[in-house]
Protein backbone atom coordinates (compact mmCIF):
# COMPACT_ATOMS: atom_id res chain seq x y z
CA UNK A 1 0.00 0.00 0.00
CA UNK A 2 1.55 3.30 -1.10
CA UNK A 3 1.13 6.27 1.23
CA UNK A 4 0.45 9.46 -0.69
CA UNK A 5 1.81 12.59 0.94
CA UNK A 6 -0.94 15.17 1.52
CA UNK A 7 0.21 18.67 2.37
CA UNK A 8 -1.44 21.13 4.71
CA UNK A 9 -3.41 23.89 2.93
CA UNK A 10 -1.00 26.43 1.53
CA UNK A 11 2.01 24.24 2.30
CA UNK A 12 2.31 22.26 -0.94
CA UNK A 13 5.69 22.18 -2.62
CA UNK A 14 5.73 24.22 -5.82
CA UNK A 15 7.75 22.88 -8.77
CA UNK A 16 10.47 25.49 -8.21
CA UNK A 17 10.73 24.76 -4.48
CA UNK A 18 13.14 22.10 -3.27
CA UNK A 19 13.57 21.18 0.37
CA UNK A 20 17.20 20.67 1.29
CA UNK A 21 17.77 17.15 2.56
CA UNK A 22 20.84 14.93 2.88
CA UNK A 23 21.84 11.36 3.44
CA UNK A 24 24.63 10.61 5.89
CA UNK A 25 26.73 7.47 6.08
CA UNK A 26 28.16 7.70 9.59
CA UNK A 27 30.90 5.13 9.21
CA UNK A 28 33.41 3.57 11.56
CA UNK A 29 36.43 4.59 9.49
CA UNK A 30 35.03 7.19 7.09
CA UNK A 31 31.83 9.20 6.80
CA UNK A 32 30.10 10.92 3.87
CA UNK A 33 27.21 13.26 3.23
CA UNK A 34 25.22 13.21 0.01
CA UNK A 35 22.19 14.84 -1.58
CA UNK A 36 20.02 14.69 -4.68
CA UNK A 37 20.60 17.54 -7.15
CA UNK A 38 18.86 17.73 -10.51
CA UNK A 39 17.55 14.22 -9.96
CA UNK A 40 21.02 12.73 -9.38
CA UNK A 41 22.34 11.53 -6.02
CA UNK A 42 25.91 12.60 -5.33
CA UNK A 43 28.28 12.84 -2.40
CA UNK A 44 29.38 16.32 -1.32
CA UNK A 45 33.01 17.45 -1.11
CA UNK A 46 34.69 19.83 1.30
CA UNK A 47 36.55 23.00 0.26
CA UNK A 48 39.57 20.86 -0.69
CA UNK A 49 37.54 18.61 -2.96
CA UNK A 50 37.61 15.61 -0.61
CA UNK A 51 34.36 13.62 -0.45
CA UNK A 52 35.38 11.21 2.31
CA UNK A 53 35.64 12.52 5.87
CA UNK A 54 37.74 10.30 8.14
CA UNK A 55 35.68 9.49 11.24
CA UNK A 56 38.39 10.85 13.51
CA UNK A 57 38.15 13.62 16.13
CA UNK A 58 41.11 15.16 17.96
CA UNK A 59 40.51 17.08 21.18
CA UNK A 60 42.82 19.99 22.03
CA UNK A 61 43.35 21.78 25.33
CA UNK A 62 42.70 25.36 24.16
CA UNK A 63 41.10 24.98 20.73
CA UNK A 64 37.97 23.52 19.13
CA UNK A 65 38.10 19.81 18.22
CA UNK A 66 39.72 18.88 14.90
CA UNK A 67 37.68 16.58 12.66
CA UNK A 68 38.70 14.55 9.61
CA UNK A 69 42.05 14.56 7.81
CA UNK A 70 43.75 16.96 10.23
CA UNK A 71 42.80 14.78 13.17
CA UNK A 72 43.79 11.59 11.34
CA UNK A 73 47.29 12.93 10.64
CA UNK A 74 47.72 13.71 14.34
CA UNK A 75 46.64 10.23 15.50
CA UNK A 76 50.13 8.75 15.69
CA UNK A 77 51.60 11.70 17.63
CA UNK A 78 48.63 12.35 19.94
CA UNK A 79 46.88 8.96 20.23
CA UNK A 80 45.19 9.48 23.60
CA UNK A 81 43.34 12.61 22.46
CA UNK A 82 42.57 11.48 18.90
CA UNK A 83 39.41 9.37 18.78
CA UNK A 84 38.85 7.02 15.83
CA UNK A 85 36.46 4.11 15.16
CA UNK A 86 34.08 5.59 17.74
CA UNK A 87 31.13 3.88 16.04
CA UNK A 88 32.31 0.64 17.68
CA UNK A 89 31.50 2.13 21.08
CA UNK A 90 28.08 3.68 20.40
CA UNK A 91 25.51 2.47 22.92
CA UNK A 92 27.96 0.06 24.59
CA UNK A 93 28.87 -0.36 28.23
CA UNK A 94 32.38 -0.22 29.67
CA UNK A 95 32.64 -4.02 30.05
CA UNK A 96 31.94 -4.54 26.34
CA UNK A 97 34.33 -1.76 25.32
CA UNK A 98 37.19 -3.23 27.31
CA UNK A 99 36.92 -6.50 25.38
CA UNK A 100 37.77 -4.71 22.13
CA UNK A 101 41.44 -5.20 21.23
CA UNK A 102 41.48 -2.00 19.13
CA UNK A 103 40.85 0.35 22.07
CA UNK A 104 43.64 2.94 22.33
CA UNK A 105 41.91 5.33 24.72
CA UNK A 106 41.59 5.84 28.45
CA UNK A 107 38.00 5.12 29.42
CA UNK A 108 36.37 6.36 32.60
CA UNK A 109 32.97 5.73 34.08
CA UNK A 110 31.39 7.62 36.95
CA UNK A 111 28.65 5.66 38.76
CA UNK A 112 25.85 4.81 36.29
CA UNK A 113 26.77 7.38 33.64
CA UNK A 114 27.72 6.32 30.13
CA UNK A 115 31.42 5.46 29.60
CA UNK A 116 33.53 8.46 28.62
CA UNK A 117 36.96 8.91 27.04
CA UNK A 118 39.50 10.99 28.94
CA UNK A 119 41.07 13.76 26.83
CA UNK A 120 42.93 17.01 27.50
CA UNK A 121 39.67 18.84 26.75
CA UNK A 122 37.76 16.81 29.32
CA UNK A 123 35.87 13.54 29.32
CA UNK A 124 33.74 12.91 26.23
CA UNK A 125 31.24 10.17 25.36
CA UNK A 126 31.02 8.24 22.09
CA UNK A 127 27.82 10.15 21.36
CA UNK A 128 29.59 13.51 21.69
CA UNK A 129 32.45 12.38 19.46
CA UNK A 130 29.97 11.21 16.80
CA UNK A 131 28.16 14.53 17.12
CA UNK A 132 31.35 16.37 16.11
CA UNK A 133 31.57 14.25 12.94
CA UNK A 134 27.91 14.85 12.14
CA UNK A 135 28.29 18.57 12.79
CA UNK A 136 31.13 18.76 10.27
CA UNK A 137 29.06 16.90 7.67
CA UNK A 138 26.09 19.18 8.33
CA UNK A 139 28.24 22.28 7.80
CA UNK A 140 29.64 20.81 4.58
CA UNK A 141 26.15 20.08 3.25
CA UNK A 142 24.74 23.49 4.15
CA UNK A 143 27.74 25.24 2.58
CA UNK A 144 27.36 23.19 -0.62
CA UNK A 145 23.58 23.59 -0.84
CA UNK A 146 23.41 27.20 0.33
CA UNK A 147 20.87 26.79 3.09
CA UNK A 148 19.79 24.91 6.19
CA UNK A 149 18.91 21.23 5.93
CA UNK A 150 15.27 20.29 6.40
CA UNK A 151 16.29 16.86 7.60
CA UNK A 152 18.60 13.91 7.09
CA UNK A 153 18.55 10.15 6.78
CA UNK A 154 21.40 8.53 8.72
CA UNK A 155 22.41 4.97 7.97
CA UNK A 156 23.20 2.38 10.64
CA UNK A 157 24.32 -1.26 10.45
CA UNK A 158 21.44 -3.72 10.30
CA UNK A 159 22.98 -5.33 13.38
CA UNK A 160 22.73 -2.18 15.53
CA UNK A 161 20.56 -2.79 18.59
CA UNK A 162 18.18 -0.30 20.18
CA UNK A 163 20.85 1.28 22.40
CA UNK A 164 23.17 1.85 19.44
CA UNK A 165 20.36 3.30 17.31
CA UNK A 166 19.26 5.62 20.09
CA UNK A 167 22.87 6.74 20.62
CA UNK A 168 23.05 7.62 16.90
CA UNK A 169 19.88 9.69 17.18
CA UNK A 170 21.23 11.46 20.25
CA UNK A 171 24.43 12.32 18.38
CA UNK A 172 22.39 13.80 15.52
CA UNK A 173 20.39 15.87 17.98
CA UNK A 174 23.59 17.27 19.51
CA UNK A 175 24.78 18.13 15.99
CA UNK A 176 21.62 20.13 15.31
CA UNK A 177 20.16 17.70 12.78
CA UNK A 178 16.55 16.72 12.24
CA UNK A 179 16.53 12.96 11.60
CA UNK A 180 13.87 11.84 9.14
CA UNK A 181 14.80 8.23 9.70
CA UNK A 182 17.57 5.82 10.57
CA UNK A 183 18.00 3.58 7.54
CA UNK A 184 19.66 0.19 7.59
CA UNK A 185 22.83 0.27 5.50
CA UNK A 186 21.94 -2.76 3.31
CA UNK A 187 18.62 -1.20 2.36
CA UNK A 188 20.39 2.06 1.46
CA UNK A 189 22.85 0.16 -0.73
CA UNK A 190 20.04 -1.66 -2.53
CA UNK A 191 18.24 1.64 -3.15
CA UNK A 192 21.46 3.18 -4.54
CA UNK A 193 21.73 0.39 -7.12
CA UNK A 194 18.08 0.83 -8.04
CA UNK A 195 17.32 -2.74 -7.06
CA UNK A 196 13.95 -1.51 -5.81
CA UNK A 197 13.02 -0.87 -9.46
CA UNK A 198 14.21 -4.23 -10.76
CA UNK A 199 12.26 -7.41 -11.26
CA UNK A 200 11.31 -9.17 -8.06
CA UNK A 201 14.06 -11.36 -6.69
CA UNK A 202 16.52 -12.05 -3.89
CA UNK A 203 19.53 -9.81 -3.31
CA UNK A 204 22.44 -10.07 -0.89
CA UNK A 205 24.18 -7.03 0.56
CA UNK A 206 27.70 -7.79 1.82
CA UNK A 207 28.79 -4.83 3.95
CA UNK A 208 32.38 -5.00 5.19
CA UNK A 209 33.25 -1.60 6.64
CA UNK A 210 36.01 -0.30 8.83
CA UNK A 211 34.61 -1.62 12.10
CA UNK A 212 31.46 -3.61 11.42
CA UNK A 213 30.37 -6.45 9.15
CA UNK A 214 26.81 -7.12 8.05
CA UNK A 215 25.24 -9.42 5.52
CA UNK A 216 21.57 -9.08 4.63
CA UNK A 217 19.36 -11.20 2.41
CA UNK A 218 16.64 -9.01 0.88
CA UNK A 219 13.61 -10.09 -1.12
CA UNK A 220 12.12 -7.46 -3.42
CA UNK A 221 8.35 -7.86 -3.42
CA UNK A 222 6.13 -5.31 -5.19
CA UNK A 223 8.70 -2.54 -4.80
CA UNK A 224 9.24 -3.12 -1.09
CA UNK A 225 12.31 -4.80 0.41
CA UNK A 226 11.62 -7.57 2.87
CA UNK A 227 14.59 -8.55 5.03
CA UNK A 228 14.60 -12.34 4.87
CA UNK A 229 17.62 -12.73 7.12
CA UNK A 230 20.49 -10.72 8.51
CA UNK A 231 23.68 -11.67 10.26
CA UNK A 232 27.09 -10.23 10.94
CA UNK A 233 29.54 -9.09 13.54
CA UNK A 234 29.41 -5.59 15.01
CA UNK A 235 33.09 -5.80 16.04
CA UNK A 236 34.67 -7.08 12.81
CA UNK A 237 35.90 -4.86 10.01
CA UNK A 238 38.78 -3.40 8.07
CA UNK A 239 40.37 -2.33 11.36
CA UNK A 240 40.88 -6.04 12.05
CA UNK A 241 42.65 -6.50 8.71
CA UNK A 242 44.97 -3.63 9.65
CA UNK A 243 45.46 -5.11 13.11
CA UNK A 244 46.43 -8.50 11.65
CA UNK A 245 48.95 -6.89 9.28
CA UNK A 246 50.35 -4.80 12.14
CA UNK A 247 50.83 -7.96 14.24
CA UNK A 248 52.67 -9.58 11.30
CA UNK A 249 54.95 -6.54 11.06
CA UNK A 250 55.66 -6.67 14.81
CA UNK A 251 56.52 -10.36 14.56
CA UNK A 252 58.78 -9.89 11.55
CA UNK A 253 60.50 -6.87 13.09
CA UNK A 254 60.94 -8.59 16.43
CA UNK A 255 58.89 -5.95 18.24
CA UNK A 256 57.63 -7.33 21.57
CA UNK A 257 54.05 -6.65 22.75
CA UNK A 258 53.99 -2.97 23.60
CA UNK A 259 51.83 -0.39 25.35
CA UNK A 260 53.54 2.39 23.39
CA UNK A 261 50.43 3.99 21.85
CA UNK A 262 52.42 6.08 19.37
CA UNK A 263 54.19 2.98 18.05
CA UNK A 264 50.93 1.04 17.81
CA UNK A 265 49.29 3.89 15.91
CA UNK A 266 52.26 4.10 13.50
CA UNK A 267 52.12 0.36 12.90
CA UNK A 268 48.38 0.47 12.26
CA UNK A 269 48.74 3.40 9.87
CA UNK A 270 51.52 1.61 7.96
CA UNK A 271 49.43 -1.59 7.86
CA UNK A 272 46.52 0.30 6.29
CA UNK A 273 48.82 1.87 3.69
CA UNK A 274 50.30 -1.55 2.82
CA UNK A 275 46.82 -3.07 2.44
CA UNK A 276 45.74 -0.31 0.06
CA UNK A 277 48.98 -0.50 -1.97
CA UNK A 278 48.59 -4.23 -2.52
CA UNK A 279 45.15 -3.71 -4.04
CA UNK A 280 46.98 -2.65 -7.21
CA UNK A 281 50.57 -3.87 -6.79
CA UNK A 282 51.99 -7.37 -6.37
CA UNK A 283 54.39 -6.25 -3.63
CA UNK A 284 55.19 -3.19 -1.55
CA UNK A 285 57.89 -1.87 0.75
CA UNK A 286 57.28 -1.56 4.51
CA UNK A 287 59.04 1.04 6.63
CA UNK A 288 58.44 1.47 10.37
CA UNK A 289 60.11 3.86 12.79
CA UNK A 290 60.76 1.98 16.04
CA UNK A 291 60.62 3.39 19.57
CA UNK A 292 64.42 3.73 19.72
CA UNK A 293 64.41 5.94 16.61
CA UNK A 294 65.74 3.27 14.24
CA UNK A 295 63.94 2.22 11.07
CA UNK A 296 62.90 -1.31 10.13
CA UNK A 297 62.31 -2.09 6.45
CA UNK A 298 60.97 -5.14 4.64
CA UNK A 299 58.73 -6.20 1.76
CA UNK A 300 55.25 -7.72 1.71
CA UNK A 301 53.82 -9.53 -1.32
CA UNK A 302 50.17 -9.93 -2.24
CA UNK A 303 50.36 -13.70 -1.60
CA UNK A 304 51.72 -13.04 1.89
CA UNK A 305 48.92 -10.54 2.45
CA UNK A 306 46.36 -13.20 1.51
CA UNK A 307 47.80 -15.57 4.11
CA UNK A 308 47.48 -12.83 6.76
CA UNK A 309 43.97 -11.62 5.98
CA UNK A 310 42.23 -14.76 4.66
CA UNK A 311 41.28 -15.99 8.17
CA UNK A 312 39.52 -12.67 8.86
CA UNK A 313 37.74 -12.61 5.50
CA UNK A 314 36.59 -16.18 6.09
CA UNK A 315 35.13 -15.04 9.41
CA UNK A 316 32.72 -12.92 7.36
CA UNK A 317 31.62 -15.95 5.33
CA UNK A 318 30.31 -17.75 8.42
CA UNK A 319 27.52 -15.16 8.95
CA UNK A 320 26.85 -15.33 5.18
CA UNK A 321 26.28 -19.07 5.44
CA UNK A 322 24.10 -18.57 8.50
CA UNK A 323 22.02 -15.86 6.77
CA UNK A 324 21.35 -18.12 3.77
CA UNK A 325 20.32 -20.94 6.08
CA UNK A 326 18.03 -18.66 8.10
CA UNK A 327 16.44 -17.37 4.87
CA UNK A 328 15.91 -20.94 3.68
CA UNK A 329 17.65 -20.38 0.35
CA UNK A 330 20.74 -21.54 -1.51
CA UNK A 331 23.32 -19.69 -3.60
CA UNK A 332 21.38 -20.53 -6.77
CA UNK A 333 18.41 -18.43 -5.56
CA UNK A 334 20.46 -15.21 -5.35
CA UNK A 335 20.07 -12.64 -8.11
CA UNK A 336 23.08 -10.49 -7.21
CA UNK A 337 25.49 -9.50 -4.42
CA UNK A 338 26.06 -5.81 -3.63
CA UNK A 339 29.46 -4.93 -2.19
CA UNK A 340 29.46 -2.19 0.44
CA UNK A 341 32.15 -0.71 2.66
CA UNK A 342 35.74 0.34 2.18
CA UNK A 343 37.07 -3.11 3.01
CA UNK A 344 35.41 -4.54 -0.12
CA UNK A 345 37.96 -2.58 -2.16
CA UNK A 346 40.46 -5.29 -1.25
CA UNK A 347 40.59 -7.62 -4.30
CA UNK A 348 40.91 -10.71 -2.08
CA UNK A 349 37.60 -9.87 -0.36
CA UNK A 350 35.81 -9.63 -3.72
CA UNK A 351 37.44 -12.86 -4.89
CA UNK A 352 36.41 -14.94 -1.88
CA UNK A 353 32.90 -13.45 -1.76
CA UNK A 354 32.41 -14.19 -5.47
CA UNK A 355 33.53 -17.79 -4.93
CA UNK A 356 31.20 -18.20 -1.98
CA UNK A 357 28.06 -16.82 -3.67
CA UNK A 358 28.89 -18.22 -7.14
CA UNK A 359 28.41 -14.84 -8.84
CA UNK A 360 30.34 -11.69 -9.71
CA UNK A 361 29.76 -9.05 -7.00
CA UNK A 362 28.29 -5.64 -7.96
CA UNK A 363 30.99 -2.97 -7.61
CA UNK A 364 29.82 -0.38 -10.20
CA UNK A 365 29.23 2.25 -7.51
CA UNK A 366 32.11 3.19 -5.24
CA UNK A 367 31.56 0.82 -2.26
CA UNK A 368 32.47 3.62 0.14
CA UNK A 369 29.83 5.95 -1.35
CA UNK A 370 26.99 3.54 -2.15
CA UNK A 371 25.34 3.71 1.31
CA UNK A 372 25.44 7.53 1.43
CA UNK A 373 23.92 7.72 -2.06
CA UNK A 374 21.06 5.42 -1.06
CA UNK A 375 20.46 7.50 2.07
CA UNK A 376 20.30 10.69 -0.06
CA UNK A 377 17.66 9.13 -2.32
CA UNK A 378 15.57 8.17 0.70
CA UNK A 379 16.04 11.60 2.31
CA UNK A 380 14.89 13.28 -0.91
CA UNK A 381 11.72 11.21 -0.82
CA UNK A 382 11.02 11.90 2.85
CA UNK A 383 11.60 15.63 2.36
CA UNK A 384 8.74 15.66 -0.13
CA UNK A 385 10.76 16.44 -3.25
CA UNK A 386 9.37 13.54 -5.30
CA UNK A 387 6.12 13.63 -7.30
CA UNK A 388 3.18 11.95 -5.64
CA UNK A 389 3.43 8.74 -7.65
CA UNK A 390 6.93 8.14 -6.31
CA UNK A 391 5.95 8.54 -2.68
CA UNK A 392 6.13 5.22 -0.91
CA UNK A 393 6.70 6.01 2.75
CA UNK A 394 7.55 3.07 4.96
CA UNK A 395 7.43 3.81 8.68
CA UNK A 396 8.90 1.82 11.54
CA UNK A 397 7.48 0.46 14.79
CA UNK A 398 8.79 2.67 17.64
CA UNK A 399 8.63 -0.01 20.36
CA UNK A 400 8.54 -3.80 20.28
CA UNK A 401 5.18 -5.57 20.17
CA UNK A 402 4.66 -8.82 22.01
CA UNK A 403 2.54 -11.09 24.19
CA UNK A 404 2.32 -11.93 27.86
CA UNK A 405 3.38 -15.52 28.59
CA UNK A 406 3.22 -17.57 31.78
CA UNK A 407 4.88 -15.89 34.73
CA UNK A 408 4.18 -12.35 33.53
CA UNK A 409 6.96 -12.48 30.92
CA UNK A 410 6.96 -10.68 27.56
CA UNK A 411 7.59 -12.62 24.36
CA UNK A 412 8.50 -10.07 21.68
CA UNK A 413 6.91 -10.88 18.30
CA UNK A 414 7.81 -7.77 16.28
CA UNK A 415 11.01 -5.98 17.40
CA UNK A 416 11.29 -2.21 17.62
CA UNK A 417 12.44 -0.41 14.43
CA UNK A 418 10.86 -3.06 12.18
CA UNK A 419 9.70 -1.41 8.95
CA UNK A 420 5.97 -1.59 8.32
CA UNK A 421 3.90 -3.09 6.79
CA UNK A 422 4.93 -6.34 8.47
CA UNK A 423 3.40 -9.65 9.56
CA UNK A 424 4.94 -12.20 11.93
CA UNK A 425 3.57 -15.34 13.54
CA UNK A 426 4.66 -17.54 16.41
CA UNK A 427 3.27 -20.78 17.83
CA UNK A 428 2.29 -21.12 21.49
CA UNK A 429 0.78 -23.93 23.53
CA UNK A 430 -1.27 -24.60 26.66
CA UNK A 431 0.14 -24.71 30.19
CA UNK A 432 -2.34 -27.06 31.87
CA UNK A 433 -4.00 -30.35 30.95
CA UNK A 434 -7.50 -29.94 29.53
CA UNK A 435 -7.09 -26.19 28.96
CA UNK A 436 -9.86 -25.05 26.58
CA UNK A 437 -9.24 -21.29 26.49
CA UNK A 438 -6.30 -18.91 26.32
CA UNK A 439 -6.09 -15.25 27.31
CA UNK A 440 -4.06 -13.21 24.81
CA UNK A 441 -2.55 -10.01 26.25
CA UNK A 442 -0.85 -7.72 23.70
CA UNK A 443 1.85 -5.42 25.11
CA UNK A 444 4.32 -2.84 23.82
CA UNK A 445 7.77 -2.05 25.19
CA UNK A 446 11.37 -3.18 25.60
CA UNK A 447 11.26 -4.55 29.15
CA UNK A 448 11.14 -8.26 30.00
CA UNK A 449 8.17 -8.16 32.41
CA UNK A 450 4.58 -7.28 31.50
CA UNK A 451 4.30 -4.96 34.49
CA UNK A 452 7.02 -2.73 32.98
CA UNK A 453 5.44 -2.54 29.50
CA UNK A 454 2.36 -0.84 28.08
CA UNK A 455 -0.82 -2.88 27.75
CA UNK A 456 -2.47 -2.51 24.34
CA UNK A 457 -5.29 -5.06 24.23
CA UNK A 458 -6.64 -8.31 25.67
CA UNK A 459 -8.85 -10.97 24.13
CA UNK A 460 -9.69 -14.64 24.70
CA UNK A 461 -9.37 -17.63 22.38
CA UNK A 462 -12.00 -20.21 23.32
CA UNK A 463 -12.89 -23.61 21.92
CA UNK A 464 -9.45 -25.21 22.23
CA UNK A 465 -9.88 -29.02 22.28
CA UNK A 466 -8.99 -30.41 25.73
CA UNK A 467 -5.51 -31.96 25.49
CA UNK A 468 -2.55 -32.63 27.72
CA UNK A 469 -0.44 -29.58 28.49
CA UNK A 470 1.85 -28.67 25.62
CA UNK A 471 -0.06 -30.62 22.95
CA UNK A 472 -2.19 -27.79 21.55
CA UNK A 473 -0.73 -25.54 18.84
CA UNK A 474 -2.01 -21.96 18.85
CA UNK A 475 -0.58 -19.70 16.14
CA UNK A 476 -0.62 -16.04 17.10
CA UNK A 477 -0.15 -13.63 14.18
CA UNK A 478 0.79 -9.95 14.47
CA UNK A 479 0.12 -7.85 11.39
CA UNK A 480 0.85 -4.12 11.15
CA UNK A 481 -0.38 -2.35 8.01
CA UNK A 482 1.12 0.72 6.36
CA UNK A 483 -1.05 2.99 8.54
CA UNK A 484 0.36 1.46 11.71
CA UNK A 485 -2.85 -0.43 12.53
CA UNK A 486 -2.08 -3.64 14.43
CA UNK A 487 -4.18 -6.76 14.03
CA UNK A 488 -3.56 -9.70 16.34
CA UNK A 489 -5.17 -13.07 15.70
CA UNK A 490 -4.94 -16.39 17.54
CA UNK A 491 -5.86 -19.61 15.76
CA UNK A 492 -5.92 -23.16 17.12
CA UNK A 493 -4.35 -25.24 14.35
CA UNK A 494 -6.36 -28.48 14.61
CA UNK A 495 -9.89 -27.06 14.88
CA UNK A 496 -9.42 -23.71 13.15
CA UNK A 497 -11.11 -21.75 15.94
CA UNK A 498 -9.89 -18.16 15.80
CA UNK A 499 -10.18 -14.86 17.64
CA UNK A 500 -8.70 -11.44 16.83
CA UNK A 501 -8.41 -7.82 17.93
CA UNK A 502 -7.28 -4.56 16.32
CA UNK A 503 -5.30 -1.84 18.12
CA UNK A 504 -3.33 1.28 17.23
CA UNK A 505 0.13 0.54 18.69
CA UNK A 506 1.57 4.06 18.55
CA UNK A 507 -1.52 5.84 19.85
CA UNK A 508 -0.88 8.02 22.87
CA UNK A 509 2.90 7.70 22.86
CA UNK A 510 4.89 10.87 22.33
CA UNK A 511 8.53 10.84 21.24
CA UNK A 512 9.47 11.74 24.82
CA UNK A 513 7.54 8.78 26.23
CA UNK A 514 9.15 6.43 23.71
CA UNK A 515 12.62 7.73 24.62
CA UNK A 516 11.80 7.31 28.31
CA UNK A 517 10.73 3.70 27.79
CA UNK A 518 13.89 2.98 25.81
CA UNK A 519 16.08 4.63 28.43
CA UNK A 520 14.40 2.60 31.16
CA UNK A 521 15.03 -0.58 29.15
CA UNK A 522 18.74 0.24 28.82
CA UNK A 523 19.17 1.26 32.45
CA UNK A 524 17.42 -1.87 33.75
CA UNK A 525 18.81 -4.33 31.20
CA UNK A 526 20.64 -6.58 33.68
CA UNK A 527 17.85 -6.29 36.22
CA UNK A 528 15.34 -7.33 33.54
CA UNK A 529 17.47 -10.32 32.49
CA UNK A 530 17.66 -11.50 36.10
CA UNK A 531 13.90 -11.00 36.54
CA UNK A 532 13.16 -12.96 33.36
CA UNK A 533 15.42 -15.84 34.43
CA UNK A 534 13.67 -15.96 37.81
CA UNK A 535 10.17 -15.94 36.32
CA UNK A 536 11.07 -18.61 33.77
CA UNK A 537 12.40 -20.90 36.48
CA UNK A 538 9.35 -20.25 38.68
CA UNK A 539 7.06 -21.22 35.79
CA UNK A 540 9.10 -24.35 35.08
CA UNK A 541 9.15 -25.28 38.79
CA UNK A 542 5.38 -24.97 39.03
CA UNK A 543 4.97 -27.09 35.89
CA UNK A 544 7.18 -29.85 37.35
CA UNK A 545 5.29 -29.75 40.67
CA UNK A 546 1.86 -29.90 38.98
CA UNK A 547 2.89 -32.79 36.71
CA UNK A 548 4.42 -34.82 39.56
CA UNK A 549 1.48 -34.23 41.90
CA UNK A 550 -0.95 -35.37 39.19
CA UNK A 551 1.14 -38.49 38.57
CA UNK A 552 1.28 -39.26 42.32
CA UNK A 553 -2.47 -38.83 42.61
CA UNK A 554 -3.12 -41.20 39.69
CA UNK A 555 -0.45 -43.88 40.16
CA UNK A 556 1.42 -43.24 43.39
CA UNK A 557 -0.31 -46.13 45.22
CA UNK A 558 0.42 -48.54 42.34
CA UNK A 559 4.14 -48.08 41.81
CA UNK A 560 5.59 -46.53 44.98
CA UNK A 561 6.08 -47.62 48.57
CA UNK A 562 4.97 -45.31 51.35
CA UNK A 563 8.60 -44.26 51.96
CA UNK A 564 9.12 -43.46 48.27
CA UNK A 565 5.94 -41.40 48.14
CA UNK A 566 6.99 -39.49 51.25
CA UNK A 567 10.40 -38.77 49.74
CA UNK A 568 8.82 -37.33 46.58
CA UNK A 569 6.44 -35.19 48.67
CA UNK A 570 9.45 -33.91 50.62
CA UNK A 571 11.19 -33.18 47.30
CA UNK A 572 8.19 -31.16 46.14
CA UNK A 573 8.21 -29.19 49.38
CA UNK A 574 11.94 -28.51 49.06
CA UNK A 575 11.35 -27.11 45.57
CA UNK A 576 8.52 -24.93 46.90
CA UNK A 577 10.78 -23.63 49.67
CA UNK A 578 13.50 -22.88 47.12
CA UNK A 579 10.99 -20.98 44.97
CA UNK A 580 10.37 -18.66 47.93
CA UNK A 581 14.07 -17.71 47.94
CA UNK A 582 13.69 -16.00 44.52
CA UNK A 583 17.09 -17.22 43.27
CA UNK A 584 16.79 -18.58 39.72
CA UNK A 585 20.06 -20.58 39.95
CA UNK A 586 18.97 -22.35 43.14
CA UNK A 587 15.51 -23.02 41.70
CA UNK A 588 17.05 -24.58 38.58
CA UNK A 589 19.21 -26.86 40.74
CA UNK A 590 16.18 -27.84 42.82
CA UNK A 591 14.17 -28.63 39.65
CA UNK A 592 16.97 -30.87 38.39
CA UNK A 593 17.16 -32.61 41.79
CA UNK A 594 13.41 -33.32 41.84
CA UNK A 595 13.48 -34.55 38.25
CA UNK A 596 16.33 -36.91 39.17
CA UNK A 597 14.48 -38.06 42.27
CA UNK A 598 11.31 -38.89 40.27
CA UNK A 599 13.10 -40.67 37.40
CA UNK A 600 12.46 -44.18 38.79
CA UNK A 601 8.76 -43.40 39.31
CA UNK A 602 8.46 -42.15 35.73
CA UNK A 603 10.22 -45.26 34.41
CA UNK A 604 7.81 -47.56 36.30
CA UNK A 605 4.79 -45.72 34.92
CA UNK A 606 6.16 -45.92 31.39
CA UNK A 607 6.92 -49.64 31.68
CA UNK A 608 3.40 -50.25 32.93
CA UNK A 609 1.95 -48.27 30.00
CA UNK A 610 4.02 -50.30 27.51
CA UNK A 611 2.96 -53.61 29.09
CA UNK A 612 -0.65 -52.51 28.98
CA UNK A 613 -0.37 -51.56 25.30
CA UNK A 614 1.23 -54.93 24.44
CA UNK A 615 -1.23 -57.04 26.46
CA UNK A 616 -2.93 -59.63 24.22
CA UNK A 617 -0.39 -59.16 21.41
CA UNK A 618 2.65 -61.09 20.30
CA UNK A 619 5.99 -59.34 19.88
CA UNK A 620 5.83 -60.05 16.13
CA UNK A 621 2.70 -57.87 15.94
CA UNK A 622 4.87 -54.82 16.60
CA UNK A 623 7.76 -55.78 14.32
CA UNK A 624 6.31 -54.77 10.96
CA UNK A 625 6.96 -56.74 7.79
CA UNK A 626 10.05 -58.91 7.70
Rounded to whole angstroms, how far apart are CA atoms 379 and 538?
Answer: 49
Rounded to whole angstroms, how far apart are CA atoms 259 and 80?
Answer: 12
Rounded to whole angstroms, how far apart are CA atoms 11 and 19?
Answer: 12
CB 271 within 8 A of CB 255: no
Per residue, what are the HEC states of 2-55?
A: CCCCCCCCCCCCCCCCCCCEEEEECCCCEEEEEEEECCEEEECCCCCCCCCEEC
Rounded to whole angstroms, how far apart are CA atoms 70 and 73?
Answer: 5
Rounded to whole angstroms, how far apart are CA atoms 168 and 14?
Answer: 33
CA 380 to chain centre: 26
Catalytic residues: 25, 87, 185, 207
CB 188 within 8 A of CB 176: no
Four-residue CA torsion sign, 444, 448, 451, 452: negative
- Cβ atoms within 10 Å of 32's Cβ, excluding its own: 28
CB 128 within 8 A of CB 175: no
Strands 21-25 and 151-156: parallel
Q: Give yes or no for a cis peptide into 421 (omega within 30° of 0).
A: yes
CB 300 within 8 A of CB 283: yes
Tell me the DSSP string of 201-243.
EEEEEEEE-SS-EEEEEEEEETTEEEEEEEEEETT-SHHHHHH
Tell me the DSSP string of 566-577.
HHHHHHHHHHHH
Amino acid sequence: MALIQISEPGQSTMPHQHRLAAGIDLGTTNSLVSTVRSGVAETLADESGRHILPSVVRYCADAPPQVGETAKRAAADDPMNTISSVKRFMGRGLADIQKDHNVFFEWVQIESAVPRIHTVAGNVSAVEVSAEILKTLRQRAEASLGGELTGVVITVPAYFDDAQRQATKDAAKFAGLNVFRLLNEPTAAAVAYGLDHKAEGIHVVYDFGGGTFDVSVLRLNKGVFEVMATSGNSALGGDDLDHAIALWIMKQAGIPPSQDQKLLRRLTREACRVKEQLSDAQSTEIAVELSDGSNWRSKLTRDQLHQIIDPIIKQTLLPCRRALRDAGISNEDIQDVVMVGGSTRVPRVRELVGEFFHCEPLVDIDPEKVVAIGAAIQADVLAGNKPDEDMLLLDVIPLSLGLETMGGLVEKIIPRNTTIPVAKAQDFTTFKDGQTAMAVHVVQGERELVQDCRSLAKFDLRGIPPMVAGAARIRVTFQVDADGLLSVSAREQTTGVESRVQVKPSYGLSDTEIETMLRDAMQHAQQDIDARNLHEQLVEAQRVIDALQQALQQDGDKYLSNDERQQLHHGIQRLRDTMDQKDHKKIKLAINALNQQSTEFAARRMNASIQKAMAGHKVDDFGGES
